Amino acid sequence: MTAPSTSCRDLEPEVVALARGELPPAEAAPLRAHLEGCSSCASLHADTLRVRAAAAARPAPVPGEASRARLRAVLDAAWEESLAEEEAEADRRRSRGPVLRLLDHAGRRYAESRAVRFLTFSVAIHAAAAVALTVHLVGGGGGSGDRRPLIEVSGTFELPPPYPEDPFTAPPVPEGGIAEGTPLPWIPDAGWPVPGSSFPGAEPTPVLQDPLDFSAAQRLYPNGEFSAFATARFRSDLRTRGLARAWGAEEATAVGRAVERSLAFLAGTQESDGTWPSGRPGDPKPQRDRFRGGVTGICVGAFLADGRTALREGTYSSVVRDAVNALAGSQDRRTGLLGAFTAGPANDRPLVNHGPALGALAEAYGLDWRFLREETRRDLAAVILRGIAASLAAQREDGSFGYAPGARSGDASVTLLQIEALEAARLAGFEVGRAALDRAAAWIASRIGPDGRLGYRVAGDRGADATLTAEALTLDRVLRLPPEVRDRMLAEVLREAAAADLGDRVLFRSAVLETLAPRDAAEPGNPAGAVVRATLRSQSPSGAFGTRKDTWSLAAGDALGTARTVRALTAPWR
């Protein structure tokens, strides 16, 4: 065999293309002439044909009758399901959405006062950018324009300039950019990131050495926008340090492994549409769908907490992508509410789904926005803006949130979910006014009894359950509770934690852990180590953290318990 000459090396890809019939005649003819006189290229040409013939001759099964019958059954079921879904979707569009119900019934006066004012508020994306998108809350007035969106996003969209002092280096955008498909999915599903690329790549600049140093971070980024990128989730050294400090040096390694196993469990139980169901296997379908959006939001949060984002290199990027796409696609275009995966009576608590869904999208956006193509970014930002507007529009006059827009009474758990979501949006760079958060926080504070317990509707109700109190404590930096109130709450939570069997109460346990995360495990009297050990003992061989004895709005289930536990265990580095 003659060695290929330099010019032949350049020809080789063409020779392969020729053998595959890829070349137009005008290019094929001269190349064929070259093959006549060049044994090296001729042999490549012949080998290409042989490789293809051999590949084609590999044995492979051909679906037989039994397989075809199975396929037909599967397709019939999927077809029926899709028809039912379309019908439900049409129903949803025909029937009046929750906000319209608000306009028509319970909150008529309240709604009219808003409609008359033709409430317009602006939400700027990132403080640095000029006012970018305007969100109109329109509608009301008569009710003739039923199909008109109640929440509109309009105006020019200006992308914020890159942060001048980004301490980490972004991975390179692939050649040709990220391909865009139809309006959905929001985040392209193929081809990126390139396997082998890794993040982060560079040393931190002297500007912000340590994202765990919150006082320095907040000095440099007073609006909190640092959390959109300067997070320890992408730095294994910082994560290890955070874990050891909060949970104890011995527990840290085991926690890392437990998180890994939990994420594998979640990835394995994600359904093909990118979501996770509420309830338990075997529950009737409405129960599985009832809080699907909320549970999916919290599951996304678990992956994000571990630095597993949609666009950064990693085992679970497609898991997160699918879930983000599902949540973005679940938005009701009229009301802006997110996370409804069922219509009719089972969708009776839309804000319970909306909160975690909005929070997850905002956090996903915050961590990945620099890698999104502009159109995708704009689309995703618009979804989040509509979601923020929907939350703000649903806030009751007393500052609380109920199960649905227009609900007659507020609920502390739903209010906490909205606060968490709006805070996530703020940290991702969306300008959410403090006023709404302050009003919600004041309402929460008014529901805390002298015993330090937060009630669901009024101070002191539901005395048997301190989960809500612990959940409120995890949002302390937003709620800004008076120190003496906070201390009373913490004492009550720790008293119950000491008395309770933590093995079965995954949500309570997780909230307690997250409350303790900012503290030092070595602090005298800090029970973090014991709670962590109880948590690790309760992990099932599948990696799940199940729950039996908790009460919470999001019906208990293994996906929820597992995701909530991951959020708690990773709190020291989030």
Partner 1 sequence: MEEADDVLLMERFRDGDRSALEALVDRHHASLVRYFFHQSRSWETAEDLAQETWVRIIRHRAHYQPTARFQTYLFSIARNLWIDRYRSQKAAPPTFSADREVGGEEGEGVALATLLPGKEPEPSERASVHEEAGRIREALEDLPEGLRQVFELGEIQGLKYTEVGSILDIPVGTVKSRMHAAIQRLRQALAPRRGGKPAGKGPS
Instruction: Tell me which of 19, 41, 382, 384 binds Zn ion, using CB under 5 A.
Output: 41
Total Cβ atoms within 10 A of residue 276: 27
Residue 61, both tokens: 């099964």
454 bridge partner residues: 448
- Please tell me the number of Cα atoms within 13 Å of 477 on its side-chain side: 12
- Least separation in angstroms between residue 77's CB and partner 1 is 9
Interface with Zn ion, residue 19, by CB under 5 A: no
Judged by beta carbon, residue 528 or residue 563, the one nearer partner 1 is: 563
222 binds partner 1 (CB under 8 A): no
Beta strands in 78-226 (DSSP E): 120-123, 133-137, 151-154
Confirm or reject binding of residue 281 to partner 1 (CB under 8 A).
no
44 scored as a contact of Zn ion (CB under 5 A): no
Site string for partner 1, 382-421 (x = CB under 8 A): ----------------------------------------
According to DSSP, residue 136 is labeled E
Check the CA dihedral 447-453-455-459 and report its sign. Answer: negative
Distances 314 to 194, 377, 553 between C-alpha atoms, Å: 10, 21, 32
For the bound state, the minimum distance from the C-beta of residue 51 to Zn ion, rounded and expressed in Å, comes to 18
The reply on whether position 8 binds partner 1 by CB under 8 A is no
Q: In terms of Cα–Cα distance, which of 81, 28, 412, 372 is closest to 228?
A: 372
Residue found by looking up tokens 């070349």 in the block? 23
Q: Can residue 343 be called a binding residue for Zn ion (CB under 5 A)?
A: no
Contacts of residue 116, defined as CB under 8 A and 6 or more positions apart, other chains included, come to 140, 141
In this complex, which beta carbon is closest to Zn ion, that of residue 45 or of residue 308? 45
Site for partner 1 in 181-210 (CB under 8 A): 182, 184, 188-192, 195
Taking the least distance from each CB to Zn ion, the nearer of 8 and 23 is 8
CA-based nearest residue to 517, from 248, 331, 195, 313: 248
Contact window for Zn ion (CB under 5 A) among 36-44, 324-332, 340-348, 490-498:
36-44
Do residues 376 and 186 touch, judged by C-beta distance below 8 A? Answer: yes
133-137, strands of its sheet edge to edge: 120-123, 133-137, 151-154
Does 481 participate in binding Zn ion (rule CB under 5 A)? no
Shortest distance, position 8 Cβ to Zn ion, whole Å: 3
Rank residues 40 and 418 by Cβ distance to partner 1 and give the closer one. 40
Chain positions 20 to 59 lying near partner 1, rule: CB under 8 A, are: 20, 22, 43-44, 47-48, 50-59
Q: How many residues bind partner 1 (CB under 8 A)?
A: 59
316 binding partner 1? (CB under 8 A)? yes
Q: Between residues 103 and 319, which has the closer beta carbon with respect to partner 1?
A: 319
If one asks whether residue 8 binds Zn ion (CB under 5 A), the answer comes out as: yes
Partner whose binding site includes residue 54, from partner 1, Zn ion, none (CB under 5 to 8 Å by kind): partner 1
User: Rounded to the nearest whole angstrom, what is the least distance from the CB of residue 2 to partner 1 in the complex?
Assistant: 11
The two three-digit tokens of residue 537, written as one number: 């003992």
User: Which helix H or strand E contains 340, and what residues bound it?
Assistant: none
Counting contacts by CB under 5 A, is residue 555 touching Zn ion?
Answer: no
Backbone torsions φ then ψ of 32, nearest 5 degrees: -60, -40
Give the shortest CB-35-to-partner 1 separation in angstroms: 15
**DSSP assignment of 447-484, as one string?**
TB-TTSPBPSSSTT-STT--HHHHHHHHTHHHH---HH
Distance CA 558, CA 563 (A): 8
Contact status, residue 318 vs residue 298, Cβ threshold 8 Å: no
Other beta carbons within 10 Å of 461: 15
Binding to partner 1 (CB under 8 A) within 64-93 occurs at 64, 66-68, 70-71, 74-75, 78-79, 82, 86
Binding to partner 1 by residue 3, rule CB under 8 A? Answer: no
Which chain residues interact with Zn ion by CB under 5 A? 8, 38, 41
Residues within the interface to partner 1 (CB under 8 A): 1, 12-13, 16-17, 20, 22, 43-44, 47-48, 50-64, 66-68, 70-71, 74-75, 78-79, 82, 86, 175-176, 178-179, 182, 184, 188-192, 195, 264, 267-268, 272-273, 315-316, 318-319, 322
